[in-house]
Every structure is written in C-alpha cells, then in structure tokens.
Structure 1
Amino acid sequence: NWMVKFRFDNNVIRFFYSYEKGVSHIDLNAIKQCRSASSIKLYIIMNCWGAKGFTICKTAHFQQLMHGRADYYKTWSELDRKCLVTACKDLKRLYRNRIIDQYITYKPFFLEEGEKVKHHLPEHITFTLHDRRTSCETAEGGEVSSELRGQRSKLKLRLQCNYDVSEKKAEQLSGYLRLDMIGDLEDFFQRKDYYIANCRRSNKKMNTGGYMTTAMVGFFKDHGVEGL
C-alpha cells in the first residue's frame, strides 16, 4: 500500500476545513494520468469539496489554492485560458475514459450583467460537480429523484415567498429545474436580488412577481428547456 502526505499552508488548510466531509479518496492512478499541474490540483480540490451538486468559490481563494497567490492572474481571460480551460478538459478526458467518476464545469459570476469579463476578475466562480454515480435525475421506475424533488420544492417556495410569484406559476416554473442548473440558479438569484434592490432604492416601480416570472422563463430557455 502507498501513502502520500500533502503539506499546505494555513490559507489552504482553511479551505479544506470549510469543505470537510470526513474522508476523500485520491486515486494516484488518476493523478499519474493528469497532463498538467493545474489538473492535478483541481482533481485534488474537487475531491475535497463536500458541497454536493455545486460549489461557489471566491476567485481570490481559488487562485490562492491553485497558484499560491490570490492575484496570480489579473484578468478572467488569463485565469480561464491559462488554467481552467485546460485543467477541466483534462478532467473531462479522464471521466470519459472512466478513470474518474466526477468532472466539473464552471461559470464566472459578475454582479453587473454585461460587465466586460476579459478585463476584470469575477466575484466568484461557480463550479458544478457532475458525478457518474448520482447523475440520474430519476430513480428506478422513472420517478423524480428525492434530491430533485427537494430542490424543486425549495425553488417553488423561494419564488412565492421572496418574489410574490403565484403558487400556480411557481409550481410550473420549478418543474423545469434540473440538478445541473442549481449552481447557475444561485448566481441568477444573486444578480436579480441586486437589480431589485437597486430599483427599490431609486423608488422605481416594478411588478416583482411578473419580473421574476419572465426572468425565470429566460433562465430556463438559456439552459435548453423547450416548450416555454
């Protein structure tokens, strides 16, 4: 049997404590087949994330983990092109070859819609975890999985209680939710909450329920839902 010891500084240790899930299994065969230092680091980090489904990581913290400095890359285009694109492609290759059972996709989060992403760093990066063993959204017999039912119920209540969307419309909209949308959905709500708060501060009249209904339809269309 092989044993490998990893040594990290205090900033990195805080990250692992934040996402503590007891035990993480690191496959040395997978590490051996990674093609870059970035994909090795991302593989280790991915296996230490305890949050199921998605993880939101501040950009500065992610750079600290990957490169030892919070300001290693100055722009999103640099960070994306020189680190994330190649590392994630490598992990997807290992997933397709059945060497690992998980891979991640990601999106940068900019609070202001339309912000020039090439010349700024995002506030955070939303990572969606895709797991071969839990990717099915329906249980045996074609029933919706309990996890997805729970997420849809949370979305329905959120739309009703926070945004005055009618129960019927909230029920309809929540039925379009898939598990791989949840990380993007959190970013969507942060952006909309920011916009609604600005409207209220400037005394701009708005029908919150109608606005959020239209926005949710757009969100689902952007994620490939048809028939809306």
Structure 2
Amino acid sequence: MNYIIVDDEPIAHTIIEDYAVSLSDLTLIGNCYNAIDAITFLQKKQVDLIFLDIEMPKLKGLDFLRTLTSPPLIIITSAYSEFAVESYELEVCDYLLKPFSFERFLKAYTKVIKEKEHSSKKNKIVKEATNTSIFLKGDKETYHIQLDDIKYLESYGSYVKLYLQNEMLLIHQSISYFETILPTEQFIRVHRSFMVSVFSIKSIVGNQIKLEGAVIPIGQSYKAILKYRLF
C-alpha cells in the first residue's frame, strides 16, 4: 500500500516512517506538512493510506478529510483525544493518540488490512449495470435500482436507508461508499448522514433541503460544497 503522512510536525513523520519500515507492504510516497499540500499531492498520485494529523495550520485535518469525495484509508494521529468521536463518524480506520507505541501502530495497521479486504468484498457486491442503473445487494436479495428513482440516502448505523420514489430499501453499506459509486453530477452529499439526488430537490431554505415528502438538513461543513455545486 502506498501511504503518505500529513502532519506539521517533522518528528511525527520520523516516528511513523520508523514504525512503517518494519512492514514490507507499506511504501512511503509522500510527506506533507499541511493539508493544502496533501490536496495537491492526491491530485497527482494514487494513495491507499493517509496518516493524518488534526491540528494543523491553514486547514484542520478533519476539514481536509471532508473535502475528499473518495478518501483513501485514514489513520488519525493526534495529541488530542477529544476529536475521536468526530473522526470515527467520518469512518476513519483508527485513531492513534500521540505518543503511541509500535504495538499500537501495528494494531492500527491490522485494522487497515481488514478494511482493505472488506472493501474488496464490497466491490463485488455493487456492480454497475448501465449508466442509469446499479445492482445493490440487500440482506436477502439483490436489487436492480434505476438511478432516477433514488430520492435520497440516509446513514443508519452500518446500513444506509435508500429512499426511492415508492419504497425504502435497507442496504448494508456506508454512505461514504455510495459516494464512490453514484455519479457526482446527479448525487451530492449534504450532511454526514445524508446524500440527495439533485433532481429531487424542490427548494433550499436556510440549512434545509426540501424534497417531496422529506426535509434534509445541510451540515455546516457541507454548505460550501453545496453552494459550489448548485449555484
């Protein structure tokens, strides 16, 4: 796996590199000392894993993570424990509290390997049929879904509620995963728990999106993305 380190402290880079050199399938391809540099790097290189600090100048680590539509696997490395819950809501693999031992680093690495294997299995579950439809596997059957029938999606624990024109389906996937398979010109994430079809939007009032039969909140960190996409 190709990995990069995003941290404003040089000593943090040294520690992670020293630990990672013991693991033969981890290859360091970049050192970024702020999130802006990381954004530029990701535009040029394929990255499988990011070791990401939170408290950095210019752009905080979690805000940087929210800008990524299809983020690599993420291990947070931070001296601050209070961001752990928020980080896991963004579906990071692990949260390493500085200073951390090699044993704790190895545990995080093991989680990354399991998540990578799990993602490979999920890729087999979802197969695109045409440009206008997808196959999605439920608990007991596989559904053929027309993209135009999808109104919005809601995160529901380890599931996603998929709201169609006439029914709701419960799919065992994460909402972040749907960001990777649904066309970005038709669907947009507006909250950590919601994605909507832009064709289903009736109006936007304040911090809410009104659809037929539903009102969806707009997350604070998603306002700028929504404004950029729609206005």
Same fold judged by TM-score > 0.5?
A: no
The structure that is helix-richer by fraction is 1
Looking at both structures, which has the greater relative contact order when contacts are Cα pairs under 8 Å and sequence separation is at least 6?
1
Structure showing greater radius of gyration is: 1
TM-score normalised by structure 2 residue count: 0.28
